[in-house]
Each structure stands twice: as structure tokens, then as C-alpha cells.
Amino acid sequence: MARRREKDLAEALKRDPERLPGHVAVIMDGNGRWARRRGLPRIAGHAAGRAVVRNIVIASSNLGLKELTLYTFSMENWNRPRTEVSALMHLLDQTLREQVDEMDENNVTLRALGRLDLLPKYALSRVERSVERLSKNTGLKLNIALSYGGRAEILDAVRGIARGVEKGEVRPSDIDEDLFRTFLYLPDSSDPDLLIRTSGELRISNFLLWQLAYTEIYITDVLWPDFRGRHLYEAISVYQKRDRRFGGLRRASRTRR
């Protein structure tokens, strides 16, 4: 029944491709609570969430989304116990190692954003090799936010602009939103049209602070390990019914960018 509903939702969304969001961002929350409710260690929740990532990437690719950004590991996550951080890094390494072939088969491009230099060498190497392996693909752009914080990204952009001013490459009068964007981690990435947060929490947790200015937000109580393609499609269905005016009064065009 669930698979049939998922298929029906996908077919309904595909019938109106011009109203699909071009870029969906996801805060994958609830792994710890999922594990705790089952009397399992927290890392078991993260491991369960790994399979969900695979399914959502495939569902997004099949639907024809252009871009998907997943909040994978935040700057604040470095403050967790060392054992948990180490387990998460090894899980990242294992996930990319196991799923890169399938991503390649599905024509997925992989990109990473964040202070990647803070990652352990083995994890960073795995990320870099996976990014290179998938770099020539032309389908879904999968962005994984690693060692990422919205404030950190803005500060790093400001520092980059300041260095440009110091070298005489940038004039203060040149600084506008377009120039600022070129100093972000992924300057060619479009702003998310839709942000999905699982687990019912009502906050954006320092995620894509610059980019989310006019993003539609969808909150679901479903914990990330229980999230499925049908939940993604339900969120997109709700998005399609919203009137995006971007601060104006007239109904905005829903044409994908």
C-alpha cells in the first residue's frame, strides 16, 4: 500500500513538472530519538538513516529534481562525544564507498560544502574521490553539508571579500548580493525552493542562513530513519499549493530555474 501511494504521488507530481521545486534542502533530524525509542545506541539511528539517504537520492533523481542538499554534519556536531563523532566519520566513509557506484549509475553529481579541512584525512579523501568520480555526471546535484554552519559560511565569505579588498581586487562599492554569492561554498548553487525538516523541530539550526531567505519550509514529525520517498513527495505536493510572492503582492511564477 505504501509503495503504491508513493508511486501515485510521484506520477501526480510528474504531470506538472513546471511546478516542481528545482532545489530541495533537508535537515535530517531524529536519528538519536529513533534509536532511543528502540533501546539502541545513537549510532544505530545514524546507520538506519544511511539507507534513507540512498532512497531519497533515488526518489529525487527519478522525480527529476535538479538539486538536493542534505545537512549531514554540522559545525556544532563536533561538540558531540568523540566516540560518536568518530563513528559518524566512519559511517560517512562507508556510505560513500558503498553508494558511489549506484549514484554514478543514476547520473548523480556529488558536491560537498562546509569547512571540509576539519574532517579526518581518511574521510576527506573519501569525499574528494567520490566528488571526482561523479564530477562528469549531468543529473541530480547532490550537495552534502559537512562540517557546515550557516554563520561559518557567511564569515568565511566575508573574510574572502576582505582579502580581495586588501589586495585591491575588490572595491567596497562592488559588494552586492551577486558578488557575495561568489564567495559562498557553492556559488553556482541555486537558493533552495523547499526546506524539509524531519522530527518536528521548529528551527533551521544554522543551516544555509543566506540561501534560505525566501525558501518555503515544510516540517514533518516523521523521524529521519522513518522518512520515505512518499514523505518527500507529500512535502513537494504541499509546496506546489503555496503562493510564493518573494515579498511582492502578485503571484510569483512557479517556473523552475
Nearest Cα to Cα of residue 29 among 12, 11, 49, 13: 49
**Could you give all domains of the chain from N- to C-terminal order, each with its CATH number?**
22-240 (3.40.1180.10)
pLDDT at residue 233, as a whole number: 96
Q: What are the E-state strand segments in the chain? A: 23-27, 67-74, 109-113, 141-148, 194-197, 216-219
**Residue tagged active-site, from 55, 77, 137, 206:** 77
pLDDT at residue 176, as a whole number: 98
pLDDT at residue 245, as a whole number: 76
- Those residues whose C-beta lies under 8 Å from the C-beta of residue 232, and which sit 6 or more positions away, are 24, 56, 59, 60, 196
- Alpha-carbon distance of 95 to 110, in angstroms, equals 13
pLDDT at residue 1, as a whole number: 65
How would you classify residue 236: left for phi > 0, otherwise alpha for psi between -120 and 50, otherwise beta? alpha
% the chain with pLDDT above 70: 96
pLDDT at residue 3, as a whole number: 76
Active site residue 29: yes
Nearest Cα to Cα of residue 194 among 166, 172, 217: 217
Nearest Cα to Cα of residue 225 among 6, 44, 2, 41: 44
* Of 107-116, 136-145, 221-230, 240-249, the least confident: 240-249
- This prediction has a pTM of 0.93
- Those residues whose C-beta lies under 8 Å from the C-beta of residue 158, and which sit 6 or more positions away, are 183
How large is the average pLDDT for residues 72-98? Answer: 97
pLDDT at residue 254, as a whole number: 45
Q: Hey, which residues does 69 pair with through a beta bridge?
A: 25, 143
**Residue tagged active-site, from 29, 31, 93, 193:** 29
* pLDDT exceeds 80 at position 246: no
Where do we find the cell 557567511? 154
* pLDDT exceeds 90 at position 256: no
- Alpha-carbon distance of 223 to 156, in angstroms, equals 32
pLDDT category, 249, cuts 50, 70, 90? Answer: low
pLDDT at residue 251, as a whole number: 53
pLDDT at residue 257, as a whole number: 46
pLDDT at residue 18, as a whole number: 85
